[in-house]
Structure 1
Amino acid sequence: MASGFWAGCAAARRAREVPPDGLDETEIAAAWEAALAPLRRERGPDPVEILRRLQRLVVDPEVNFFRSGPGLAAAQARVEEIWQDAGRARALDGHRLAQCHEVRHAALTAHAMFAAAQARQETRGWHRRLDFPQRDDARWRRWTLAQPTLPPGGLGWTLTTLEYEDQKVFQPCPLGGEAS
């Protein structure tokens, strides 16, 4: 929690120091409208209830410990429903507004976790696949980069595999310093 707080503070400070290039007033107004939309909704699901559904799914050992391709695909579909619900959530105040955005991002993270588990077709360490019970040493020591694609109405991922030694993995961090 503390590292997220400090990272957020650093990001906000950097955003104030270096305004983004190419944003016009219309784009800024649209971003504010989207960020505050949950406060303007007359109806919508409660973000706390949505978060509880997401937590139940993620901690379910039948889903996240005894993994299989069909089980992971079903989990991704359920997370996508939760993500859609989070996009319709209603905020009654600033605290609930933050919860609306937090649960939407938590659902995106859970979807990424299940997508990564589905792409990894082996069992190694804590990562277990019932349908792939053996290690896959031929594909070991590789990075898989996942970039979200947000097509209208759904979530998806573009996966890129890099060799472990590939220097593309270690590009400079945009806020200074080096990414690790």
Structure 2
Amino acid sequence: MSHQAADQELTILGKVTTAFGIKGWVKVYSYTDPMTNILDYPNWLLNIGGEWKTFRVKDSQVHSKGLAVALDGINDRDAALALSQVEIAVPTSELPELEDDEYYWFQLQGLKVVNTHGEWLGQVKELLDSGGGNQVMVINACEGSIDRQQRLIPYAETIVLKVDTEQGEILVDWEADF
């Protein structure tokens, strides 16, 4: 997801889920792959009450079910609990440059999906990692789509023929009745 804060575009990288322990650490659910890539950014923007506030990552630990992170200024369990379900973002300008035919997932969300027959299948709601390095686009019906059906379409080179972010469209080799 992409948001504006103080005249800069932001990208959501994860969220704080709840407190971790009694010393102000928080549990973090990372949208990055691998999950530890969120730790590459030393300063996070947290959306608290609709306002983005900057926090420096002091320390972190990897656990089997996710990450535990210590943030500057969050020193007790109550302060950590107050951050529950808060989104974590960084300025989009800080993300690594991609190759020409590569995209961040947030760039694909909201694009309309059209098949080779010119049928509008819907709009990308989200992308899922189905394991083994396979990604799947969740396509929701929307105004103008051929039906009201939700579709799961693999994000694979043989299926996704063209992504045009300027036109807001993805061309797929996928039949409407699959």
Higher helix share: 1
TM-score bracket for the superposition, by shorter chain length: under 0.3
TM-score normalised per structure 2: 0.26
Whichever structure has more strand as a proportion of its residues is 2
Q: Normalised by the size of structure 1, how large is the TM-score?
A: 0.26
